[in-house]
Structure 1
């Protein structure tokens, strides 16, 4: 189940910002956007409520005039003495209309719609419609005009039939409603009934709506500009704040690139003291990294010192054991060849002593060589042609393993490398001997020399049973031997491939292995040299190499 969910999680993370800098900037911008949206929404709703409240007051004033009473501004419907207007809209004892004089629109029994919409303290577009028997009989709305001679600058236009139909949909419950009137826009409408009859009165919402739309446009523009500025400022400020964290990452990267697995460890990389302030989060990370590096450096130094002592002990012990082993072999051989007759049991024991002493000598020599390579002892580098070395080594291996088939695959040009010829020959001996010892009789072993890019490669390939998957990752470790190689009859020390790897590494190269049932290939990679200009070679050397090459080709033709 975990394997199935992982791709989905990766898809979900694909669209998210990955860096801390980007996440902080995005989070800040989103937070600012939410705050601005909340403030803008609350401000807009509050202003809308206020403007529509004022518009409702204007509608109430217009409705009061239509019913026949109302103050000069249509306020409370009472004069300064608290008296209500009479049925004609005049206040007792004054004989005046709500406008402070005779109002031609309201002083008659019948309301003059044209005069009503042209005069009075109402906004442009005020609409009034006369209702009789439940239907609109006449409807007018005020419209500003520059051609009229009226002092108010307004003219009265009749409402269209479609507008009347829209207006008739308003409920006659006396409450204020909002309706879309065809051809005019949105209106606040109220149905009123008075001594002069029943009317629809309406005022347009164009003014408040325009103010609200302008406010929204300003809010959006300011918010967008503010978010853009917040992105730029946040990116810069967060970048400055996380700069010490990037320096910590650079230090950790440099440490990860150090070769800590072998050799003398020099772990000197540290986070600068300026980035280890314990009062900041980034400083705490830097200080913790420095403490960890100190601990790792101490552990690696202790490990390196321990390894050096072990290597020195192995080198000293191997060196000191060479003389006693030589003495044991010499005395055993001297006793076996003495004049006195010895019995078969004694002869067998002396043979075993010589055999085991020889095997132990090989082990001591291998350990001494590895200790010297680990200590970095200088090699004798010189321009070396790998082809004669391969031919000679295959010749020796064929003599030791006549029951195997040997093949050579060599280029026409010299295979030049800068190498210690003796060590490279030992590498070839170990690889060919390893292939011979661990494959059955009749196995074909091929030695191949080929240039691949900047490398000169030597392949030792066999068609044997292959290396077990459990052993394959450990073949170059010291004393690593498969079950088939544990017999002492083969004389294996378990150090041959470890020596191959150590010598290849000392030459600036590497050794690799690829093994499947029926095919195993060990490849030694050495830095190649550019071929030198052709020049006459000494006759003896040319003949020697020609004879070796002819001999190798003869084996190939014979199929042995």
Structure 2
């Protein structure tokens, strides 16, 4: 009987982030921009509301004070003939809320115009009013329990030393100011809310390129770029790239960076492929002479052992002859391998900027000497040369430049049939010395033309030693020309193949160069 499986322990919930931690978290650019803009606008609107309220309050108080003075001018003739304040107020039509305090024969009396008519004030209210008059405020206010705040002023009674007090309620002023402040607050709140929505939309649209940049960078970061054929196809969409905006410039800069990184990765992959092919070709080239050396050495050793065991003179002579031939083949293969290794070493040193001894070089003389050396090696070819009457001089390594011309002539001799015409020309064109090697052979296969100057490249795909060579001649020529800050190119079609070398030359007229 099997026991039931034990239930998995419950997964504890992830701890919630505290409020303090959330507040310490860096704000997004959108949040900072919205906070800054809305805060500044809110501050401006609040200051405008406060300033407007202060100015309006001052205006309303001034108007109320003028109304008090106007009401007092209407009451002044009446207080002489009436004994009480309520009788004075009942004798005319005065604004609702008008307060009158007067000192007559019957003593202090006070009354106010209410909605239901004139109402006399109590002794307590009168005492509070009298106490407020003792303040130094030129326009005192009185807070009556049942009437509210009043703005009061004292005026002299005509024909006597007595005074009377006239006041109007402050409720109209405070009500107006309160309504204005409420309106300003509501309008400000609504405007800020609308502003927040508009700013959020504008900022979100404005930051779209930055978000696209972040998303593109994230996708690129997720790619595995350690090895293999890698191509970065991720780019910021073209509609978000705008050189006239800051965010668009960031997007454009990222696209440019990705283009260069993609080109670098492509170049790296190509270099890796060239290196693998170079190692394979070098291994093949070295394997053949090493195998030959091993075979002939084993053959020589076997013949020598057989000669030691056999006392026959005839077999001894045969063994000696076999050993001699094997040693000759070993020497030939050793020389071939030595040449190959020296060529590889030369290419490596040229890549490092070494192996050049600069001096004054006459390119015309080098061409004549190279053609003279090529005629005995290719007697079945027709060799012609076209050089100017004046020397074409340049600063360079004479032996290495001679090697360039010799390699080009050897290439023409090897890959053209007997009877072909090979022409060498030298010219001074502007600030360059130009060497051209032309032949009327079958031309270069277009499939190998783009790789002609690569190492171990061959126009003949078969690795025949008579036609294919080691495949380093043209690559050495290009390395030497590049080291001289020149260029080497080839144009080819059936019956018309031309290798052109351009090198920085000395001025044709030394006097003209001196004046320049």
**Where on the TM-score scale, by shorter chain, does this alignment land: which range?**
0.3 to 0.5
Q: TM-score, structure 1 length as denominator?
A: 0.43
Q: TM-score, structure 2 length as denominator?
A: 0.47
